[in-house]
Amino acid sequence: MIIIITNLNTGTETSARADKRAFDELRNLKIEAGVLERADGSAYLEIGGNKVLAAVYGPRELFVRRLMQPNRAVLRCKYNMAPFSVDDRKRPGPDRRSVEISKITSEALSPAVFLEKFPRSTIDVYIEVLEAEGGTRCAGITAASVALADAGIPMRDMVVACAAGKSEGKVVLDLSEIEDKEGEADLPIALMPRTGEITLLQMDGHLTEEEFEKALDLAIVGCKKISEEQKKAIKNRYGD
Amino acid sequence: MVINMVHIVPEIIKESVTNLVKNGERTDGRAFDEYREISLETGVIEKAEGSARVKIGNTQIMIGAKPQIGTPFGDTPKVGVLMTNTELLPMAAPNFESGPPDENSVELSRVTDRCIREGKVVDLEKLCIIEGQKVWMIFLDLHVLDYDGNLMDAAVLGSVAALMNTKIPTAKLEGDEVVLDYDNMMPLPINEKALMSTFAKIGGELIIDPSLEEEEIMGARLSIGITEDGSICAMQKGGAEPLNREEVLKAVSIAKMKTAELRTHLP
């Protein structure tokens, strides 16, 4: 038997949210483009306690011929969590969760990329979660878009992702780890900010129709705010 | 990780790099016994009980240490366990692919582990909680982010730094139960700072800290782990070319000096 003594704060907070944020407030956000030497494009993103690295290779030759598309490139994603990124060590290698996130990330990014310009080739996107604190799939998509732009891959828009949800009965933006685990609902979305077209939509939990509409609108506002930071990261690296 | 494509180095590059070395020069202007710029940060991952990020030139590795309580090995019932695992991430180089660890990844894990274990960096005997039943297992995970040559020296330097940074909860015995006190964290018992220096043999010369360009054309590689008192704790030769007695002895004497220099980067 192992007993664990922890010093978790369980006192009542004055603010409705555990980290005292307003309902429509994002966690602290930092994005940096071009952080790796070997990759064609890369980006590092921190939001709250999340630390995510994204790298892009390509367009390049696709060796797996059965995946090859005669009229366009394929965009392959690999989302992976470092063993040390979570409280209890995660066993290395893909699990069902990371396979699903890889798939939806690829589908979230593909509509923005001019894949038709690179038939029979591949664009590979690698997302590494170095530290996880709720909302890593959104952080990964946001970082991956910046890495794609850093790699000089032609795109219609820079896809951005953000989640909204319901925690302690209130609809809130950008759920933290505790809000995600103990909250009532989580709604991560990704969109192309120029047109507002949604490229990723997932939900788990329970929301009424009104709450869903509120959460969706909140997530869209969050995406637009993060989008400005993505642009800043590219401008910081390449100038206006 | 699987290295899927054989990287072909043009003969002309091979020749020019080799000729430079024969003239006492290197492509990036370094001396034969000069490391690239080194940077080392610790405590970079809050969720890991110990962590470090190390850069040697453009080679970059993130290392996390996580303790768990486990059962000791049958032949060492009073000794804690250290497990080293490396992931050569597909983002680190265009020819790295995701998948189970391949031979390069396993070699890097094992050589790093050997240097730390044989160098007695961690006093594993102090990590025993109940003899034969419960000991601390320290998982050391190396995440290679950017590959620009000489992963071995970066791996060992970063691993020692991450272990020095590691804090584990105090474990007490109350009857048959192990009680973990997270309010009283203690640093890992560190009693040595063994480090590694790697040489590449090109054009009959030994050069320290080979860059990717140099690694791609080297005939042989020699990694030497050295403890603080200057004794040797681990070695690994790589590559198809042989080394002679004098070359090995020369490498050892340079490694003694250079690992002492590397040690100044540790906090």
- CB contact at 8 A, A55 and A42: yes
Top-confidence residue, B106 or B3: B106
d(CA B28, CA B93): 20
Q: Is the dihedral of CA B196, B201, B205, B208 positive or negative?
A: negative
d(CA B165, CA B185): 12
Q: What is the predicted pLDDT for the residue at B6?
A: 63
Please give the radius of gyration of chain A, using alpha carbons only, rounded to the nearest integer: 18
Kindly report, residue by residue over B190-239, the tens digit of the pLDDT: 999 999 999 999 999 999 999 999 999 999 999 999 999 999 999 999 99
Q: Within 10 Å of residue A197's Cβ, how many Cβ atoms? A: 14
- CB contact at 8 A, B201 and B247: yes
Instruction: Compare CB distances from A3 to B93, B98, B180 and report the shortest one's residue.
Output: B180
3-class SS of residue B28: coil
- CB contact at 8 A, B240 and B41: no
Say if A93 is an interface residue toward chain B (CB within 8 Å): yes
Of all residues in chain B, the percent with pLDDT exceeding 70 is 98
pLDDT (average), residues B129-149:
95
pLDDT tier at B2, thresholds 50, 70, 90: low
- CB contact at 8 A, B123 and B115: no
CA-based nearest residue to B82, from B122, B142, B42, B32: B122
CB contact under 8 A, B47 and A84: yes
Q: What is the predicted pLDDT for the residue at A14?
A: 44
Q: Is the dihedral of CA A144, A147, A151, A154 positive or negative?
A: positive
**DSSP E strands: which ranges in chain B?**
2-3, 38-42, 50-56, 59-70, 81-88, 96-97, 128-130, 134-146, 167-174, 177-187, 195-202, 205-208, 220-226, 232-238
Contacts of A76 in chain B (CB under 8 A): none
Mean pLDDT computed over every residue of chain B: 94
CA angle, residues B95, A64, A44, in degrees to nearest 5: 45
Kindly report, residue by residue over B33-73, the tens digit of the pLDDT: 999 999 999 999 999 999 999 999 999 999 999 999 999 99
Kindly report, residue by residue over A191-215, the tens digit of the pLDDT: 999 999 999 999 999 999 999 999 9
Q: What is the predicted pLDDT for the residue at B8?
A: 80
Chain A nearest-CA distance from B243, in A, is: 31
Q: Give the amino acid at B139.
A: F
What are the DSSP calls for A85-110, one per residue? SSSSPPPSS--HHHHHHHHHHHHHHG
Interface pTM, i.e. ipTM: 0.90
Chain A nearest-CA distance from B231, in A, is: 32
Q: What is the predicted pLDDT for the residue at B105?
A: 94
Sequence-distant (≥ 6) Cβ neighbours of residue A85 within 8 angstroms: A51, A129, A130, A131, A132, B45, B47, B48, B64
Q: For residue B67, give the chain A residue with the closest CA.
A: A89
Chain B nearest-CA distance from A87, in A, is: 6
Residue A8 has pLDDT above 90, yes or no: no
Q: What is the predicted pLDDT for the residue at B81?
A: 95
Contacts of A37 in chain B (CB under 8 A): 58, 60, 146, 148
CB contact under 8 A, A85 and B45: yes
d(CA B204, CA B212): 18
Contacts of B45 in chain A (CB under 8 A): 51, 82, 84-85, 130-131
Residue A37 has pLDDT above 70, yes or no: yes
Residue A237 has pLDDT above 50, yes or no: yes
Chain A nearest-CA distance from B253, in A, is: 33
CB contact under 8 A, A36 and B66: no
